[in-house]
Amino acid sequence: MRMLILGGSSEASALARLLAADARFKATLSLAGVTREPLPAPIPQRVGGFGGVAGLVAYLRAERVEALVDATHPFARQMSMNAVAASERTGVPLLQLLRPPWTSVEGDHWVPVADMHAAAAALGEAPRRVFLTVGRKELAPFLAQPQHRYVIRSVDPPPPELMPRDSLAIAARGPFALEDERRLLAEHEIEVLVTKNSGGGATAAKLRAARERELPVVMVERPVLPLAERAADPDAALAWLLRLHAGTPAQLRGV
């Protein structure tokens, strides 16, 4: 079965590993190209955008794709919208592989906000030491709050024009260990954490470290994604693919 995984999450990589040795599937992992050095994948990769819905439709038809899995980042709303539209136009079955969001527990001090502008405003007027983990391309709203000192962590270094005046960039890729997160908060005397509600375990340790220090967490809530069939983890996505494979006549798969 020819299939396309729209990647950008750790779940996409995990699903690729599950499919790599399964002769029933011929899978391709598509990456947007945002990360300069993506992790190697065990299946063929393509890098770069499709050119909107029309480009994705053309790709699905040209490659005779029979299953589409949207395993992009939970905040990649536009790509998820394009995937739904392309599925509707082509009839290619679509699954959203979407990990659950984080939920607060006793001892958390979360400040939920709708977007980055609200997150920047939530920091207030008084200078604070801020641990900023929202991605290197979403820093612009924080330029309007130059009174704070920012420690910015992202996979790739932010472009200089998006770096607030008093800031330190840390280029690092998760997963992050709890002890390392504790050390980072202590060494930089962090007073508030700003993050997206990405969910998953790779970067969750910072939330526990913040809870232990009784720090407020400005939590940017997820965007509303278009409705589609969903799986919460790679194993559930594989089960969906196996059901789909079992229901597709061999002659339609070209075998």
Q: pLDDT confidence of 34, banded at 50, 70, 90?
A: low
* CATH number of the 109-220 domain: 3.40.50.720
127 or 248, which is more confident: 127
DSSP string, 129-171: EEEEES-TTS-GGGGG-TTSEEEEEESSPPPGGGS-SSEEEEE
Residue 253: pLDDT over 50: no
Torsion of the alpha carbons at 110, 112, 116 and 118, rounded to the nearest 10: -110
Closest CA to 112 of 199, 212, 192, 221: 221
For residue 255, pLDDT beyond 50: no
**Residue 124 in this model has a pLDDT that exceeds 70:** yes
Write the single-letter amino acid at 215. Answer: L
Confidence of residue 41 (pLDDT cuts 50, 70, 90): confident
Give the model confidence (pLDDT) of 48-82 as tens digits: 889 999 999 999 999 999 999 999 999 999 999 99
In order of 6, 21, 199, the CA distances from 232 in angstroms are 15, 22, 11
- The highest-confidence range among 36-40, 42-46, 90-94, by mean pLDDT, is 90-94
Find out whether 87 and 61 touch, Cβ atoms under 8 Å: no
Can you tell me the mean pLDDT for 231-242?
A: 96
Tell me the Ramachandran region of residue 24: left when phi exceeds 0, alpha when psi lies from -120 to 50, beta otherwise: alpha
Span 108-127, average pLDDT:
97
How confident is the model at residue 40, as a pLDDT? 74
The domain segmentation of the chain, as residue ranges, is 2-100+223-253, 109-220
Phi, psi of 11 (to 5 degrees): -65, -35
pLDDT tops 70 at residue 30: yes
Whether pLDDT at 33 is above 80: no
Judged against a pLDDT cut of 90, whether residue 129 lies above it is answered with: yes
2-100+223-253 and 109-220 have identical folds: yes
- 146/216 Cα distance (integer angstroms): 19
Mean pLDDT of the chain: 92
Judge contact between 195 and 171, C-beta under 8 A: no
Q: How does pLDDT run across 133-191, given as a tens digit for each residue?
A: 998 889 999 999 999 999 999 988 898 898 988 899 999 988 999 999 999 999 999 99
Closest C-alpha to 72, from 3, 126, 5, 7: 7
Q: Which CATH architecture has domain 2-100+223-253?
A: 3-Layer(aba) Sandwich (3.40)
Check pLDDT > 60 for residue 252: no
User: pLDDT-based confidence at 37, cuts 50/70/90?
Assistant: low
Query: CA dihedral in degrees (80, 81, 82, 85; nearest 10)?
Result: 120
pLDDT of 247 reads 85
